[in-house]
Structure 1
Amino acid sequence: MEIFGVPHQAMMGQLLLGLVNGSFYATLSLGLAVIFGLLNVINFAHGALYMMGAFIAFIGVTTFGLNYWAMLVIAPLLVGAFGIILEKTLLCRLYKLDHLYGLLLTFGIALLLEGLFRSYFGVSGQTLEVPELLAGATNLGFMMLPNYRAWVVLASLCICLATWFVIEKTKVGAYLRAGTENPRLVEAFGVNVPLMVTLTYGFGVALAGFAGVLAAPVINVTPLMGSNLIIIVFAVVVIGGMGSITGSVLTGLGLGVIEGFTRLFYPEGSEVVVFVVMVVVLMTRPAGLFGKEK
Protein backbone atom coordinates (compact mmCIF):
# COMPACT_ATOMS: atom_id res chain seq x y z
CA MET A 1 0.00 0.00 0.00
CA GLU A 2 1.30 3.44 -0.97
CA ILE A 3 0.38 6.96 0.19
CA PHE A 4 1.38 9.74 -2.22
CA GLY A 5 3.70 7.25 -3.88
CA VAL A 6 5.44 6.37 -0.61
CA PRO A 7 5.19 2.83 0.86
CA HIS A 8 3.00 2.56 3.94
CA GLN A 9 5.83 1.00 5.94
CA ALA A 10 8.09 3.97 5.19
CA MET A 11 5.37 6.39 6.33
CA MET A 12 4.93 4.57 9.63
CA GLY A 13 8.68 4.35 10.12
CA GLN A 14 9.06 8.10 9.72
CA LEU A 15 6.11 8.67 12.05
CA LEU A 16 7.88 6.61 14.72
CA LEU A 17 11.18 8.41 14.12
CA GLY A 18 9.38 11.74 14.33
CA LEU A 19 7.73 10.76 17.62
CA VAL A 20 11.07 9.68 19.08
CA ASN A 21 12.76 12.95 18.08
CA GLY A 22 9.68 14.86 19.17
CA SER A 23 9.88 13.17 22.59
CA PHE A 24 13.40 14.52 23.08
CA TYR A 25 12.30 17.95 21.87
CA ALA A 26 9.29 17.90 24.22
CA THR A 27 11.27 16.82 27.31
CA LEU A 28 14.09 19.29 26.73
CA SER A 29 11.82 22.20 25.83
CA LEU A 30 9.70 21.39 28.89
CA GLY A 31 12.73 21.94 31.11
CA LEU A 32 13.50 25.19 29.32
CA ALA A 33 9.88 26.33 29.64
CA VAL A 34 9.81 25.55 33.37
CA ILE A 35 13.01 27.53 33.98
CA PHE A 36 12.02 30.50 31.83
CA GLY A 37 8.37 30.55 32.86
CA LEU A 38 9.09 30.44 36.59
CA LEU A 39 12.56 32.02 36.84
CA ASN A 40 12.78 34.21 33.70
CA VAL A 41 16.18 32.70 32.85
CA ILE A 42 17.08 31.73 29.27
CA ASN A 43 19.09 28.61 30.09
CA PHE A 44 21.50 28.13 27.19
CA ALA A 45 23.36 25.47 29.21
CA HIS A 46 20.39 23.10 28.81
CA GLY A 47 21.97 21.24 25.90
CA ALA A 48 25.23 20.73 27.80
CA LEU A 49 23.30 19.40 30.81
CA TYR A 50 21.46 17.01 28.49
CA MET A 51 24.87 15.82 27.29
CA MET A 52 26.03 15.51 30.90
CA GLY A 53 23.09 13.26 31.72
CA ALA A 54 23.97 10.96 28.82
CA PHE A 55 27.64 10.76 29.86
CA ILE A 56 26.76 10.11 33.51
CA ALA A 57 24.60 7.19 32.37
CA PHE A 58 27.41 5.91 30.15
CA ILE A 59 29.99 6.16 32.97
CA GLY A 60 27.63 4.56 35.49
CA VAL A 61 26.96 1.57 33.26
CA THR A 62 30.43 1.00 31.79
CA THR A 63 32.66 2.01 34.72
CA PHE A 64 30.65 1.32 37.88
CA GLY A 65 28.58 -1.61 36.58
CA LEU A 66 25.21 -0.01 37.35
CA ASN A 67 22.27 -0.84 35.13
CA TYR A 68 20.29 1.44 32.85
CA TRP A 69 17.30 1.63 35.20
CA ALA A 70 19.43 2.82 38.10
CA MET A 71 21.02 5.50 35.91
CA LEU A 72 17.59 6.65 34.78
CA VAL A 73 17.15 7.85 38.37
CA ILE A 74 20.73 8.66 39.42
CA ALA A 75 21.77 10.74 36.37
CA PRO A 76 18.86 13.24 36.56
CA LEU A 77 19.46 13.61 40.31
CA LEU A 78 23.17 14.35 39.76
CA VAL A 79 22.45 16.80 36.95
CA GLY A 80 19.77 18.44 39.10
CA ALA A 81 22.24 18.74 42.00
CA PHE A 82 24.77 20.34 39.67
CA GLY A 83 22.07 22.75 38.51
CA ILE A 84 21.28 23.67 42.11
CA ILE A 85 24.95 24.51 42.69
CA LEU A 86 24.95 26.69 39.55
CA GLU A 87 21.81 28.50 40.67
CA LYS A 88 23.03 29.13 44.22
CA THR A 89 26.51 30.32 43.20
CA LEU A 90 25.99 32.12 39.87
CA LEU A 91 22.47 32.51 38.51
CA CYS A 92 20.98 33.90 41.72
CA ARG A 93 23.07 37.04 41.19
CA LEU A 94 21.45 37.80 37.83
CA TYR A 95 17.70 37.65 38.49
CA LYS A 96 17.31 41.43 38.72
CA LEU A 97 19.35 42.08 35.58
CA ASP A 98 18.43 41.88 31.91
CA HIS A 99 17.77 38.41 30.41
CA LEU A 100 20.88 38.84 28.26
CA TYR A 101 23.18 38.38 31.26
CA GLY A 102 21.65 35.02 32.14
CA LEU A 103 21.87 33.90 28.52
CA LEU A 104 25.55 34.86 28.29
CA LEU A 105 26.39 33.15 31.60
CA THR A 106 24.65 29.89 30.69
CA PHE A 107 26.21 30.00 27.22
CA GLY A 108 29.63 30.24 28.86
CA ILE A 109 28.79 27.33 31.18
CA ALA A 110 27.75 25.27 28.16
CA LEU A 111 31.06 25.94 26.41
CA LEU A 112 32.99 25.08 29.58
CA LEU A 113 31.17 21.76 30.06
CA GLU A 114 31.58 20.79 26.40
CA GLY A 115 35.29 21.58 26.57
CA LEU A 116 35.80 19.53 29.73
CA PHE A 117 34.01 16.46 28.36
CA ARG A 118 35.72 16.79 24.98
CA SER A 119 39.18 16.94 26.57
CA TYR A 120 38.50 13.71 28.46
CA PHE A 121 36.33 11.66 26.08
CA GLY A 122 37.27 13.11 22.70
CA VAL A 123 34.72 13.72 19.94
CA SER A 124 34.40 10.25 18.40
CA GLY A 125 31.37 9.31 20.50
CA GLN A 126 30.49 6.49 22.89
CA THR A 127 27.70 3.93 22.70
CA LEU A 128 25.41 2.63 25.43
CA GLU A 129 23.72 -0.73 25.02
CA VAL A 130 19.94 -0.92 25.01
CA PRO A 131 18.78 -2.55 28.29
CA GLU A 132 18.00 -6.24 27.88
CA LEU A 133 14.37 -5.78 28.90
CA LEU A 134 13.81 -3.39 25.98
CA ALA A 135 15.91 -5.15 23.33
CA GLY A 136 14.39 -6.32 20.08
CA ALA A 137 11.20 -5.23 18.35
CA THR A 138 7.48 -5.98 18.35
CA ASN A 139 5.70 -6.98 15.15
CA LEU A 140 2.61 -4.80 14.77
CA GLY A 141 1.63 -6.39 11.49
CA PHE A 142 2.20 -3.30 9.38
CA MET A 143 5.66 -2.54 10.83
CA MET A 144 8.30 -3.67 13.31
CA LEU A 145 8.28 -1.41 16.37
CA PRO A 146 11.65 -1.22 18.19
CA ASN A 147 10.88 -1.71 21.86
CA TYR A 148 13.35 0.88 23.11
CA ARG A 149 12.02 3.63 20.87
CA ALA A 150 8.50 2.89 22.05
CA TRP A 151 9.79 3.21 25.62
CA VAL A 152 11.36 6.60 24.83
CA VAL A 153 8.02 7.96 23.63
CA LEU A 154 6.10 6.50 26.58
CA ALA A 155 8.58 7.68 29.22
CA SER A 156 8.74 11.19 27.75
CA LEU A 157 4.96 11.51 27.63
CA CYS A 158 4.66 10.32 31.24
CA ILE A 159 7.27 12.75 32.59
CA CYS A 160 5.80 15.64 30.58
CA LEU A 161 2.26 14.91 31.78
CA ALA A 162 3.41 14.59 35.41
CA THR A 163 5.29 17.91 35.22
CA TRP A 164 2.29 19.68 33.67
CA PHE A 165 0.00 18.29 36.39
CA VAL A 166 2.27 19.39 39.25
CA ILE A 167 2.75 22.92 37.94
CA GLU A 168 -0.77 23.59 36.69
CA LYS A 169 -3.00 21.58 39.04
CA THR A 170 -1.36 21.36 42.48
CA LYS A 171 -0.77 23.73 45.39
CA VAL A 172 3.00 23.45 44.88
CA GLY A 173 2.60 24.68 41.30
CA ALA A 174 0.40 27.54 42.49
CA TYR A 175 3.09 28.60 44.95
CA LEU A 176 5.70 28.44 42.19
CA ARG A 177 3.69 30.64 39.85
CA ALA A 178 2.80 33.09 42.60
CA GLY A 179 6.39 33.21 43.84
CA THR A 180 7.67 34.39 40.47
CA GLU A 181 5.01 37.10 40.14
CA ASN A 182 4.95 38.42 43.71
CA PRO A 183 7.67 36.83 45.88
CA ARG A 184 7.17 39.18 48.84
CA LEU A 185 3.49 38.26 49.15
CA VAL A 186 4.26 34.54 49.00
CA GLU A 187 7.04 34.92 51.60
CA ALA A 188 4.48 36.59 53.88
CA PHE A 189 2.64 33.25 53.93
CA GLY A 190 5.77 31.50 55.20
CA VAL A 191 7.00 30.08 51.89
CA ASN A 192 10.78 30.00 51.35
CA VAL A 193 10.83 31.55 47.88
CA PRO A 194 14.63 31.40 47.28
CA LEU A 195 14.64 27.68 48.11
CA MET A 196 11.64 27.15 45.84
CA VAL A 197 13.41 28.94 42.98
CA THR A 198 16.56 26.87 43.49
CA LEU A 199 14.65 23.59 43.48
CA THR A 200 12.73 24.68 40.38
CA TYR A 201 15.95 25.27 38.47
CA GLY A 202 17.30 21.95 39.71
CA PHE A 203 14.17 20.18 38.49
CA GLY A 204 14.29 21.91 35.11
CA VAL A 205 17.86 20.79 34.42
CA ALA A 206 17.10 17.31 35.84
CA LEU A 207 14.61 16.98 32.97
CA ALA A 208 17.52 17.61 30.59
CA GLY A 209 19.52 14.89 32.35
CA PHE A 210 16.57 12.51 32.07
CA ALA A 211 16.35 13.17 28.32
CA GLY A 212 20.09 12.53 28.04
CA VAL A 213 19.74 9.08 29.63
CA LEU A 214 16.87 8.24 27.27
CA ALA A 215 18.95 9.35 24.29
CA ALA A 216 22.16 7.51 25.21
CA PRO A 217 21.17 4.08 23.73
CA VAL A 218 19.67 5.73 20.62
CA ILE A 219 22.42 8.10 19.46
CA ASN A 220 26.17 8.37 19.94
CA VAL A 221 27.06 10.01 23.24
CA THR A 222 29.39 12.89 22.32
CA PRO A 223 30.30 16.20 23.98
CA LEU A 224 28.61 18.02 21.07
CA MET A 225 25.27 16.18 21.22
CA GLY A 226 23.70 19.00 23.22
CA SER A 227 24.91 21.87 21.06
CA ASN A 228 23.56 20.10 17.97
CA LEU A 229 20.11 19.93 19.53
CA ILE A 230 19.69 23.04 21.66
CA ILE A 231 19.00 25.45 18.77
CA ILE A 232 16.08 23.29 17.61
CA VAL A 233 14.80 23.03 21.18
CA PHE A 234 14.89 26.82 21.56
CA ALA A 235 12.91 27.08 18.33
CA VAL A 236 10.35 24.65 19.79
CA VAL A 237 10.02 26.79 22.91
CA VAL A 238 9.57 29.97 20.85
CA ILE A 239 6.93 28.34 18.62
CA GLY A 240 5.02 26.92 21.59
CA GLY A 241 5.25 30.17 23.55
CA MET A 242 8.03 31.13 25.97
CA GLY A 243 7.24 29.67 29.37
CA SER A 244 4.22 27.65 28.20
CA ILE A 245 4.33 24.08 29.57
CA THR A 246 1.53 22.85 27.31
CA GLY A 247 3.00 24.62 24.29
CA SER A 248 6.44 23.06 24.77
CA VAL A 249 5.14 19.50 25.00
CA LEU A 250 2.63 19.65 22.13
CA THR A 251 4.92 21.67 19.87
CA GLY A 252 7.89 19.39 20.53
CA LEU A 253 5.94 16.28 19.57
CA GLY A 254 4.29 17.95 16.58
CA LEU A 255 7.50 19.36 15.15
CA GLY A 256 9.23 16.00 15.55
CA VAL A 257 6.54 14.40 13.39
CA ILE A 258 6.66 17.24 10.83
CA GLU A 259 10.45 16.91 10.64
CA GLY A 260 10.14 13.14 10.13
CA PHE A 261 7.66 13.42 7.26
CA THR A 262 9.69 16.23 5.68
CA ARG A 263 12.71 13.91 5.67
CA LEU A 264 10.59 11.40 3.74
CA PHE A 265 9.09 13.72 1.10
CA TYR A 266 11.78 16.43 0.86
CA PRO A 267 14.99 15.34 2.64
CA GLU A 268 16.83 18.58 1.84
CA GLY A 269 14.28 20.56 3.84
CA SER A 270 14.28 18.42 6.99
CA GLU A 271 17.12 20.42 8.57
CA VAL A 272 15.31 23.75 8.27
CA VAL A 273 11.60 22.91 8.46
CA VAL A 274 11.48 23.70 12.20
CA PHE A 275 12.85 27.18 11.57
CA VAL A 276 10.47 27.75 8.67
CA VAL A 277 7.59 26.92 11.01
CA MET A 278 9.07 29.28 13.61
CA VAL A 279 9.20 32.16 11.12
CA VAL A 280 5.61 31.57 10.04
CA VAL A 281 4.36 31.39 13.64
CA LEU A 282 6.25 34.51 14.73
CA MET A 283 4.88 36.45 11.76
CA THR A 284 1.29 35.51 12.61
CA ARG A 285 1.45 35.12 16.39
CA PRO A 286 4.58 36.66 17.95
CA ALA A 287 3.84 35.26 21.43
CA GLY A 288 3.83 31.68 20.09
CA LEU A 289 1.02 29.21 19.62
CA PHE A 290 0.26 28.88 23.34
CA GLY A 291 1.91 32.06 24.63
CA LYS A 292 0.01 34.95 26.17
CA GLU A 293 -0.14 38.16 24.20
CA LYS A 294 0.98 41.16 26.24
Structure 2
Amino acid sequence: MDWHAIPLPALYAQIVLGLVNGSFYALLSLGLAVIFGLLNIINFAHGTMYMLGAFGALLSLQYIGMPYWTALVVVPIVVGLAGITIERVFLRHIYRLDHLYGLLLTFGLTLVIEGFFRAKFGVSGDRYPVPSSLQGAQNLGFMILPTYRIWVIAFSLTVCAITWALIEKTRVGSFLRAATENPSLTQALGIPVPLIVSGTFGFGVALAALAGVLAAPLIQVAPLMGSNLIIVTFAVVVIGGMGSLLGSVLTGLTLGVVEGLTKLFYPEAAATVVFVIMIVVLLTRPAGLFGRVR
Protein backbone atom coordinates (compact mmCIF):
# COMPACT_ATOMS: atom_id res chain seq x y z
CA MET A 1 0.00 0.00 0.00
CA ASP A 2 1.27 3.48 -0.89
CA TRP A 3 1.10 5.36 2.41
CA HIS A 4 1.85 8.65 0.67
CA ALA A 5 -1.40 8.27 -1.31
CA ILE A 6 -3.54 8.47 1.84
CA PRO A 7 -5.13 11.95 2.08
CA LEU A 8 -4.53 13.91 5.26
CA PRO A 9 -8.27 14.24 6.09
CA ALA A 10 -8.54 10.45 6.21
CA LEU A 11 -5.50 10.31 8.49
CA TYR A 12 -6.93 12.92 10.85
CA ALA A 13 -10.29 11.17 10.87
CA GLN A 14 -8.74 7.87 11.95
CA ILE A 15 -6.86 9.63 14.74
CA VAL A 16 -10.07 11.15 16.06
CA LEU A 17 -11.98 7.86 15.80
CA GLY A 18 -9.06 6.17 17.54
CA LEU A 19 -9.38 8.65 20.38
CA VAL A 20 -13.03 7.59 20.81
CA ASN A 21 -12.03 3.94 21.24
CA GLY A 22 -9.02 5.01 23.28
CA SER A 23 -11.32 6.87 25.67
CA PHE A 24 -13.09 3.61 26.50
CA TYR A 25 -9.78 1.78 26.83
CA ALA A 26 -8.52 4.51 29.17
CA LEU A 27 -11.62 4.53 31.37
CA LEU A 28 -11.83 0.74 31.62
CA SER A 29 -8.11 0.23 32.18
CA LEU A 30 -8.12 2.99 34.80
CA GLY A 31 -10.73 1.11 36.83
CA LEU A 32 -8.75 -2.10 36.42
CA ALA A 33 -5.53 -0.34 37.46
CA VAL A 34 -7.19 1.16 40.54
CA ILE A 35 -8.29 -2.28 41.71
CA PHE A 36 -4.98 -3.99 40.99
CA GLY A 37 -2.72 -1.12 42.02
CA LEU A 38 -4.37 -0.63 45.40
CA LEU A 39 -5.78 -4.08 46.16
CA ASN A 40 -3.59 -6.45 44.08
CA ILE A 41 -6.71 -8.13 42.67
CA ILE A 42 -6.81 -9.19 39.02
CA ASN A 43 -10.48 -8.50 38.38
CA PHE A 44 -11.46 -10.56 35.35
CA ALA A 45 -15.10 -9.58 35.97
CA HIS A 46 -14.30 -5.98 34.98
CA GLY A 47 -15.75 -6.48 31.50
CA THR A 48 -18.91 -7.88 33.05
CA MET A 49 -19.30 -4.72 35.14
CA TYR A 50 -18.96 -2.73 31.92
CA MET A 51 -21.78 -4.83 30.47
CA LEU A 52 -23.90 -4.31 33.60
CA GLY A 53 -23.48 -0.56 33.21
CA ALA A 54 -24.78 -0.66 29.64
CA PHE A 55 -27.66 -2.96 30.54
CA GLY A 56 -28.47 -0.86 33.59
CA ALA A 57 -28.90 2.21 31.39
CA LEU A 58 -30.95 0.30 28.82
CA LEU A 59 -33.29 -1.45 31.26
CA SER A 60 -33.80 1.64 33.40
CA LEU A 61 -34.87 3.51 30.27
CA GLN A 62 -37.18 0.74 29.05
CA TYR A 63 -38.87 -0.03 32.38
CA ILE A 64 -38.91 3.22 34.36
CA GLY A 65 -38.07 5.82 31.73
CA MET A 66 -34.84 6.95 33.40
CA PRO A 67 -33.16 9.57 31.19
CA TYR A 68 -29.57 9.24 30.05
CA TRP A 69 -28.19 11.96 32.33
CA THR A 70 -29.71 10.33 35.40
CA ALA A 71 -28.46 6.89 34.36
CA LEU A 72 -24.97 8.32 33.95
CA VAL A 73 -24.95 8.96 37.72
CA VAL A 74 -27.26 6.32 39.16
CA VAL A 75 -26.15 3.21 37.24
CA PRO A 76 -22.41 3.43 38.16
CA ILE A 77 -23.39 3.92 41.81
CA VAL A 78 -25.67 0.87 41.78
CA VAL A 79 -23.08 -1.31 40.03
CA GLY A 80 -20.40 0.03 42.38
CA LEU A 81 -22.51 -1.06 45.37
CA ALA A 82 -22.81 -4.49 43.74
CA GLY A 83 -19.02 -4.51 43.48
CA ILE A 84 -18.71 -3.72 47.19
CA THR A 85 -21.01 -6.66 47.92
CA ILE A 86 -18.83 -8.95 45.76
CA GLU A 87 -15.72 -7.77 47.60
CA ARG A 88 -17.22 -8.36 51.04
CA VAL A 89 -18.85 -11.69 50.29
CA PHE A 90 -16.19 -13.31 48.08
CA LEU A 91 -12.90 -11.50 47.61
CA ARG A 92 -12.21 -10.60 51.22
CA HIS A 93 -11.52 -14.25 52.03
CA ILE A 94 -8.74 -14.71 49.45
CA TYR A 95 -6.55 -11.63 49.92
CA ARG A 96 -3.77 -13.68 51.52
CA LEU A 97 -3.76 -16.21 48.68
CA ASP A 98 -2.03 -16.10 45.32
CA HIS A 99 -3.34 -13.67 42.65
CA LEU A 100 -4.50 -16.66 40.65
CA TYR A 101 -7.33 -17.31 43.12
CA GLY A 102 -8.77 -13.85 42.61
CA LEU A 103 -8.50 -14.26 38.84
CA LEU A 104 -10.32 -17.61 38.93
CA LEU A 105 -13.01 -16.32 41.28
CA THR A 106 -13.79 -13.24 39.20
CA PHE A 107 -13.69 -15.35 36.03
CA GLY A 108 -16.29 -17.65 37.58
CA LEU A 109 -18.46 -14.66 38.49
CA THR A 110 -18.18 -13.49 34.89
CA LEU A 111 -19.46 -16.82 33.57
CA VAL A 112 -22.38 -16.84 36.02
CA ILE A 113 -23.49 -13.25 35.33
CA GLU A 114 -23.06 -13.49 31.56
CA GLY A 115 -24.90 -16.82 31.53
CA PHE A 116 -27.84 -15.28 33.36
CA PHE A 117 -28.06 -12.34 30.95
CA ARG A 118 -27.74 -14.59 27.91
CA ALA A 119 -30.60 -16.76 29.19
CA LYS A 120 -32.73 -13.71 29.98
CA PHE A 121 -32.03 -11.42 27.02
CA GLY A 122 -30.44 -13.60 24.36
CA VAL A 123 -27.24 -12.76 22.52
CA SER A 124 -28.43 -10.30 19.86
CA GLY A 125 -28.70 -7.32 22.19
CA ASP A 126 -30.55 -4.03 21.79
CA ARG A 127 -29.82 -0.39 21.02
CA TYR A 128 -29.83 2.53 23.42
CA PRO A 129 -30.90 5.81 21.79
CA VAL A 130 -28.52 8.76 21.70
CA PRO A 131 -29.88 11.45 24.07
CA SER A 132 -31.57 14.28 22.21
CA SER A 133 -29.21 16.92 23.62
CA LEU A 134 -26.21 15.08 22.12
CA GLN A 135 -27.65 14.25 18.73
CA GLY A 136 -26.33 15.78 15.53
CA ALA A 137 -22.76 16.20 14.33
CA GLN A 138 -19.97 18.74 14.23
CA ASN A 139 -17.91 19.72 11.19
CA LEU A 140 -14.24 19.46 12.16
CA GLY A 141 -13.07 20.53 8.74
CA PHE A 142 -11.61 17.16 7.80
CA MET A 143 -14.61 15.06 8.90
CA ILE A 144 -18.14 15.21 10.25
CA LEU A 145 -18.03 13.79 13.78
CA PRO A 146 -21.19 12.92 15.75
CA THR A 147 -21.61 15.16 18.78
CA TYR A 148 -21.99 12.15 21.06
CA ARG A 149 -18.52 10.88 20.20
CA ILE A 150 -17.05 14.27 21.05
CA TRP A 151 -18.87 14.06 24.39
CA VAL A 152 -17.42 10.60 25.05
CA ILE A 153 -13.85 11.82 24.52
CA ALA A 154 -14.28 14.95 26.64
CA PHE A 155 -16.14 13.27 29.49
CA SER A 156 -13.84 10.23 29.66
CA LEU A 157 -10.72 12.39 29.81
CA THR A 158 -12.29 14.53 32.53
CA VAL A 159 -13.18 11.49 34.66
CA CYS A 160 -9.70 10.02 34.19
CA ALA A 161 -8.03 13.30 35.20
CA ILE A 162 -10.22 13.67 38.30
CA THR A 163 -9.60 10.07 39.35
CA TRP A 164 -5.84 10.40 38.95
CA ALA A 165 -5.78 13.66 40.92
CA LEU A 166 -7.99 12.18 43.65
CA ILE A 167 -5.71 9.18 44.23
CA GLU A 168 -2.33 10.79 43.63
CA LYS A 169 -2.77 14.33 44.93
CA THR A 170 -5.27 14.29 47.81
CA ARG A 171 -5.37 13.10 51.41
CA VAL A 172 -8.00 10.53 50.48
CA GLY A 173 -5.56 8.99 48.02
CA SER A 174 -2.83 8.87 50.66
CA PHE A 175 -5.21 6.99 52.98
CA LEU A 176 -5.94 4.52 50.18
CA ARG A 177 -2.27 3.85 49.53
CA ALA A 178 -1.48 3.56 53.23
CA ALA A 179 -4.37 1.13 53.80
CA THR A 180 -3.07 -1.21 51.10
CA GLU A 181 0.69 -0.90 51.74
CA ASN A 182 0.55 -1.26 55.54
CA PRO A 183 -2.99 -2.15 56.66
CA SER A 184 -2.06 -3.02 60.26
CA LEU A 185 -0.40 0.32 60.97
CA THR A 186 -3.15 2.21 59.13
CA GLN A 187 -5.82 0.41 61.17
CA ALA A 188 -3.94 1.29 64.37
CA LEU A 189 -4.17 4.96 63.44
CA GLY A 190 -7.96 4.69 63.46
CA ILE A 191 -8.48 4.54 59.69
CA PRO A 192 -11.17 1.97 58.72
CA VAL A 193 -9.11 -0.22 56.39
CA PRO A 194 -11.86 -2.76 55.48
CA LEU A 195 -14.19 0.07 54.51
CA ILE A 196 -11.49 1.70 52.38
CA VAL A 197 -10.72 -1.58 50.61
CA SER A 198 -14.39 -2.21 49.84
CA GLY A 199 -14.87 1.35 48.66
CA THR A 200 -11.82 1.15 46.40
CA PHE A 201 -13.09 -2.01 44.71
CA GLY A 202 -16.55 -0.47 44.34
CA PHE A 203 -15.05 2.66 42.82
CA GLY A 204 -13.05 0.68 40.25
CA VAL A 205 -16.16 -1.29 39.32
CA ALA A 206 -18.18 1.94 39.06
CA LEU A 207 -15.68 3.28 36.50
CA ALA A 208 -16.30 0.17 34.37
CA ALA A 209 -20.07 0.66 34.67
CA LEU A 210 -19.68 4.33 33.72
CA ALA A 211 -17.86 3.26 30.56
CA GLY A 212 -20.76 0.90 29.86
CA VAL A 213 -23.31 3.69 30.13
CA LEU A 214 -21.20 5.83 27.79
CA ALA A 215 -20.90 2.97 25.30
CA ALA A 216 -24.61 2.05 25.28
CA PRO A 217 -25.65 4.60 22.58
CA LEU A 218 -22.69 3.62 20.37
CA ILE A 219 -22.82 -0.17 20.26
CA GLN A 220 -25.24 -3.04 20.60
CA VAL A 221 -25.97 -3.65 24.27
CA ALA A 222 -25.45 -7.41 24.59
CA PRO A 223 -24.38 -9.89 27.30
CA LEU A 224 -21.01 -10.61 25.66
CA MET A 225 -20.01 -6.99 25.03
CA GLY A 226 -17.68 -7.04 28.04
CA SER A 227 -15.96 -10.27 27.03
CA ASN A 228 -15.07 -8.75 23.68
CA LEU A 229 -13.29 -5.84 25.37
CA ILE A 230 -11.74 -7.15 28.59
CA ILE A 231 -8.79 -8.90 26.88
CA VAL A 232 -7.78 -5.69 25.13
CA THR A 233 -8.20 -3.80 28.41
CA PHE A 234 -5.88 -6.22 30.18
CA ALA A 235 -3.35 -5.73 27.39
CA VAL A 236 -3.58 -1.95 27.86
CA VAL A 237 -2.95 -2.28 31.61
CA VAL A 238 0.00 -4.63 31.05
CA ILE A 239 1.58 -2.28 28.49
CA GLY A 240 1.06 0.77 30.68
CA GLY A 241 2.26 -1.00 33.81
CA MET A 242 0.10 -2.99 36.22
CA GLY A 243 -1.20 -0.59 38.83
CA SER A 244 -0.02 2.60 37.09
CA LEU A 245 -3.01 4.93 36.82
CA LEU A 246 -1.37 7.48 34.55
CA GLY A 247 0.16 4.69 32.47
CA SER A 248 -3.23 3.06 31.95
CA VAL A 249 -4.85 6.29 30.77
CA LEU A 250 -2.05 7.38 28.44
CA THR A 251 -1.59 3.87 27.05
CA GLY A 252 -5.34 3.44 26.49
CA LEU A 253 -5.56 6.65 24.49
CA THR A 254 -2.38 5.93 22.54
CA LEU A 255 -3.36 2.37 21.65
CA GLY A 256 -6.79 3.55 20.52
CA VAL A 257 -5.07 5.88 18.05
CA VAL A 258 -2.57 3.20 16.99
CA GLU A 259 -5.42 0.76 16.40
CA GLY A 260 -7.26 3.37 14.32
CA LEU A 261 -4.20 4.14 12.18
CA THR A 262 -3.56 0.43 11.69
CA LYS A 263 -7.06 0.08 10.24
CA LEU A 264 -6.07 2.72 7.70
CA PHE A 265 -2.58 1.49 6.78
CA TYR A 266 -2.82 -2.26 7.33
CA PRO A 267 -6.40 -3.36 8.18
CA GLU A 268 -5.46 -7.04 8.51
CA ALA A 269 -3.39 -6.28 11.62
CA ALA A 270 -5.90 -4.01 13.38
CA ALA A 271 -7.25 -6.80 15.60
CA THR A 272 -3.80 -7.92 16.75
CA VAL A 273 -1.64 -4.80 16.84
CA VAL A 274 -2.34 -4.20 20.56
CA PHE A 275 -1.17 -7.70 21.45
CA VAL A 276 1.92 -7.41 19.29
CA ILE A 277 2.83 -4.23 21.17
CA MET A 278 2.16 -6.03 24.47
CA ILE A 279 4.56 -8.84 23.55
CA VAL A 280 7.28 -6.36 22.58
CA VAL A 281 6.83 -4.41 25.83
CA LEU A 282 6.89 -7.57 27.96
CA LEU A 283 10.10 -8.70 26.28
CA THR A 284 11.85 -5.34 26.66
CA ARG A 285 10.27 -3.90 29.82
CA PRO A 286 8.31 -6.51 31.80
CA ALA A 287 7.03 -3.95 34.33
CA GLY A 288 5.30 -1.97 31.57
CA LEU A 289 6.05 1.44 30.11
CA PHE A 290 5.07 3.32 33.27
CA GLY A 291 5.32 0.51 35.82
CA ARG A 292 7.88 0.29 38.59
CA VAL A 293 10.42 -2.52 38.53
CA ARG A 294 10.13 -4.38 41.82
TM-score by length of 1: 0.98
Structure 2 CA distance, aligned partners of 1:262 and 1:15?
Answer: 10
Give the corresponding residue for 1:103. 103
Structure 1 runs of 4+ aligned residues shifted over 6 Å read none
Give the corresponding residue for 1:57. 57
- Amino acid corresponding to residue 61 of structure 1 in structure 2: L
Structure 1 CA distance, aligned partners of 2:51 and 2:108?
Answer: 15
Identity across aligned pairs (percent)?
Answer: 63
Structure 1 CA distance, aligned partners of 2:255 and 2:140?
Answer: 25
Give the corresponding residue for 1:165. 165
Give the corresponding residue for 2:144. 144
User: Which stretches in structure 2 are left out of the alignment for 5+ residues?
Assistant: none
**Given the alignment of the two structures, is residue 246 of structure 1 paired with residue 274 of structure 2, yes or no?**
no
Instruction: Identify which range, 104-113 or 59-68, moves more after superposition.
Output: 59-68
Q: Is the 8 A contact 2:23 2:157 kept in 1?
A: yes
Structure 1 CA distance, aligned partners of 2:141 and 2:267?
Answer: 27
Instruction: Identify which range, 181-190 or 226-235, moves more after superposition.
Output: 181-190
- Amino acid corresponding to residue 112 of structure 2 in structure 1: L
Give the corresponding residue for 1:273. 273
Give the corresponding residue for 2:231. 231
Q: Is the 8 A contact 2:236 2:248 kept in 1?
A: yes
1:9 Cα deviation from its structure 2 partner = 2.6
Give the corresponding residue for 2:203. 203
1:181-227 CA distance string (max 9 Å, x none): 10111112110000000000000000000000000000101100000
Structure 1 CA distance, aligned partners of 2:272 and 2:159?
Answer: 28
- Amino acid corresponding to residue 60 of structure 2 in structure 1: G
Give the corresponding residue for 1:187. 187
* Number of residue pairs matched by the alignment: 293
Structure 2 CA distance, aligned partners of 1:32 and 1:26?
Answer: 10
Specify the SS of the correspondent of 1:145. strand
Structure 2 CA distance, aligned partners of 1:4 and 1:222?
Answer: 40
Structure 2 CA distance, aligned partners of 1:149 and 1:17?
Answer: 8
Specify the SS of the correspondent of 1:138. strand
Give the corresponding residue for 1:213. 213
- Amino acid corresponding to residue 96 of structure 1 in structure 2: R
Structure 2 CA distance, aligned partners of 1:246 and 1:211?
Answer: 17
Q: Is the 8 A contact 2:13 2:142 kept in 1?
A: no
- Amino acid corresponding to residue 168 of structure 2 in structure 1: E
TM-score by length of 2: 0.98
User: Which stretches in structure 1 are left out of the alignment for 5+ residues?
Assistant: none
